A and B are shown apart, each in its own frame.
Chain A
Amino acid sequence: MALAEVEHLTFAYPEAEQPALSDVSLSLEPGEIVAMLGPSGSGKSTFLRALAGLVPHFHGGRFEGRVVVAGMDTRRFRPADLAGAVAMLFQDPENQVVFGRVANEVAFGLENVGTPPDQIWPRAHAALADVGAARLAERRTETLSAGELQRICLAAVLALEPKLLVLDEPTSQLDPEGAAEILDVACELGAAVLVSEQRPALPLERCSRVLFVDEGRITVDATREDALTRLADEYLPREPKSLGDVPGLGEIVCRVEDVTFAYDSRPVLESRSLTLRRGEIVALTGPNGVGKTTLAKVAAGLLEPQSGRAEREGRCCYLSQDPGRYLIKERVEDEAALAVGGDVRRARRALAEVGLTGFEHRHPRDLSSGERERLALASVLVADPDVLILDEPTRGVDPPRKAELAAQLRRDAGRRATLVVTHDLVFAGDVADRVVPLTAKEHIHA
């Protein structure tokens, strides 16, 4: 018997003109590992929410068809009733943490679903150990890095021992090794796993079945082997291009020399150096917590090094990891124009370059996550800086858009020095001229 049955599901969010899902039907078997791919805004997250009962109960909207999970029809059972049978991990860990202490966060779901009290702590600690976070049990959640927080959120859903595990871009904040570990843990649980990812290689290595969603419809539902012959090139796994570390020949526009930086008393950078030349794109890679973002912020002048020096020539712009930080104004074009003193014409040009023509008068908070990412990019590109620093610009970005971004950065590369901080080694290989791999406690002179 199927674990989940979806029959002719059509769903539209309140006030939406077009349905987010159109006549979707499929069944999921117990223990199946399924990769769900597709462009941003295609309806993947909506479909995952439908399996967890959040669509329609939490979001409202027009719902047609039927979704039955573990024998429960989601029209009659609320998401809280489905919890335990279905567990969902959301994309942004910061928006799902309820408690201040890690162990309590993991125990929260177990308490809610009525786990016998004597089993709660053992299961919570076992789940933390499974995701390699046993040592974090007593830590405060606000002191964790995004990657650590993502592991805690996964532990919180694994502890529920669900029959169906629904993962919405669970590894977007993790380095490749960390992401692989997380997916391995999820896939070894024994539950059916449905995972949506924008780095397709990871789920494609582990799944037995592939779904491709486009414009609210499932256009590919095939075995892994079959899907690999049908997917567009951008979605196929490939090895990252190897990059050297030979600096470009242009003038130096950003120089960071022997900098040291510590947050409170925790040292993050020790004697790090970095040089950026006009005309080159440099990828800064390395595992979570090694100090990539801190080095990028020092280079951008957002953090003052405690020793050493950082110098820049001309204007420098820094794109934060979080596109939610570019939602200050009431209209998209005003947001994009902030960096150029309100010059709306330049803002519109920048918006056009990132494919946001027609969005000028929308409120930034009405944009989807992919559109917000493009708005954030337009908001820094508009200034045409001499030094452009992009911190994880492909987080949650679909493969075709990544290819567009790489092409755009390459097209304008000659005008500036560009530093791209990224976990996405394939993107780094596509976009960069050279790579600076940051490793723990090691002097890097690039």
Chain B
Amino acid sequence: MSPVPAAALLAALAAVALITDRGWVVAAIAIGLLLLCLRAPRGRRRMYLVGTLGSALSVFLLSPLVSQVGTHVIWDGPKIPVVGYLDVTSEEIAAAGIQALRLAAVGLAFAAYALLLDLDRLLQAAGFARRSVLAAGLATRLVPTLERDAAGFTEALRGRGLEVDGLRGRARLLSPLVAGSLERALNLAEAMEARGFGRVGRTRAPSAPWTRLDRLALVAAVLLVLGAIWL
């Protein structure tokens, strides 16, 4: 499938997950997207899945403790200054479940976009705002680049007999990672300018024409969003 209709379909699924009130629909979208993400190579998908599912789990566990909704109390906890009573109701759990599923669906839609779509072809398809789309594409690639850099720093430290353990150990990599990214960005900007980026009169490499499946996917994306709003 071409990347533009595929991206539209993913965006539509994320939008439906945010719009609809039906929990089973959100769950189905999240499960479908999770299965889709599992098609990506294990090494690349790990960070996206851990980040997304970890965040969703956090929302599910924490939000019942801080919200004050419902009358069917399941657990009555102590009163905490500022936060209030730490009670948990069945309504809060239901609401937390759907919010966590929404977050998972949106996060997994982004993960599928980053892991499975050909971002280059998406960029080529951008007839306008090419610079912005290029910046977005480079930003998307920043995640695996940072991951590789972090692994490189860790390996260099281990090569000196120093283990990088725990939050504090990883936190000390933050500053060199940011500095390294800035340095790489400068080098990349220089290389891009040397290859004519920003010159007037650029052309575009021809891209493959859309197939029937591409058109169907785009129609499905529109129908999904309209359906979610209508129903």
Identify the A interface with B (CB < 8 A).
52, 54, 57-58, 78-81, 83-84, 87-88, 90, 92, 94-101, 104, 107-118, 120-121, 124, 142, 156-157, 160, 264, 297, 300, 302, 315-320, 322, 324-328, 338-339, 365, 376, 379-380, 383, 389
Q: Which of B152, B195, B203 contacts A114 (CB 8 A)?
A: B203
Decide if B120 touches A339 in the complex (CB within 8 Å).
Answer: no
Decide if B194 touches A79 in the complex (CB within 8 Å).
Answer: yes
Decide if B204 touches A324 in the complex (CB within 8 Å).
Answer: no
Decide if A109 touches B203 in the complex (CB within 8 Å).
Answer: no
Decide if A325 touches B153 in the complex (CB within 8 Å).
Answer: yes
B187 within 8 Å of A (CB atoms): yes
Chain B contact residues, majority secondary structure: helix
A360 CA to B205 CA, complexed, in Å: 51
B174-217 to A contact mask, C-beta < 8 Å, 1/0: 00100110011001111111111111011111100000000000
Identify the B interface with A (CB < 8 A).
41-43, 118-121, 123-124, 134, 137-138, 141, 144, 148, 152-153, 155-162, 172-173, 176, 179-180, 183-184, 187-199, 201-206
Which residues on B sit within 8 Å (CB–CB) of A90? Answer: 187, 190-191, 194
Q: Using CB atoms, name the residue of chain A closest to B145.
A: A142
A57 CA to B198 CA, complexed, in Å: 13
A302 CA to B161 CA, complexed, in Å: 10
Which residues on A sit within 8 Å (CB–CB) of B172? Answer: 328
Which residues on A sit within 8 Å (CB–CB) of B134? Answer: 98
Which residues on A sit within 8 Å (CB–CB) of B199? Answer: 80-81, 83, 112-114
Which residues on A sit within 8 Å (CB–CB) of B198? Answer: 78, 80, 112
User: How far in angstroms is the closest Cβ of chain A from B187?
Assistant: 4
User: How far in angstroms is the closest Cβ of chain A from B143?
Assistant: 11
Decide if A114 touches B190 in the complex (CB within 8 Å).
Answer: no
Decide if B191 touches A101 in the complex (CB within 8 Å).
Answer: no
Which residues on A sit within 8 Å (CB–CB) of B184? Answer: 94-95
User: How far in angstroms is the closest Cβ of chain A from B186?
Assistant: 9
Most chain B CB atoms below 10 A, which of A121, A324, A379: A324
Decide if B155 touches A114 in the complex (CB within 8 Å).
Answer: no
Decide if B155 touches A302 in the complex (CB within 8 Å).
Answer: yes
Which residues on A sit within 8 Å (CB–CB) of B201? Answer: 114
Decide if A338 touches B195 in the complex (CB within 8 Å).
Answer: no
Which residues on B sit within 8 Å (CB–CB) of A121? Answer: 205-206
A87 CA to B189 CA, complexed, in Å: 15
Which residues on B sit within 8 Å (CB–CB) of A58? Answer: 189-190, 193
Which residues on A sit within 8 Å (CB–CB) of B188? Answer: 95-98
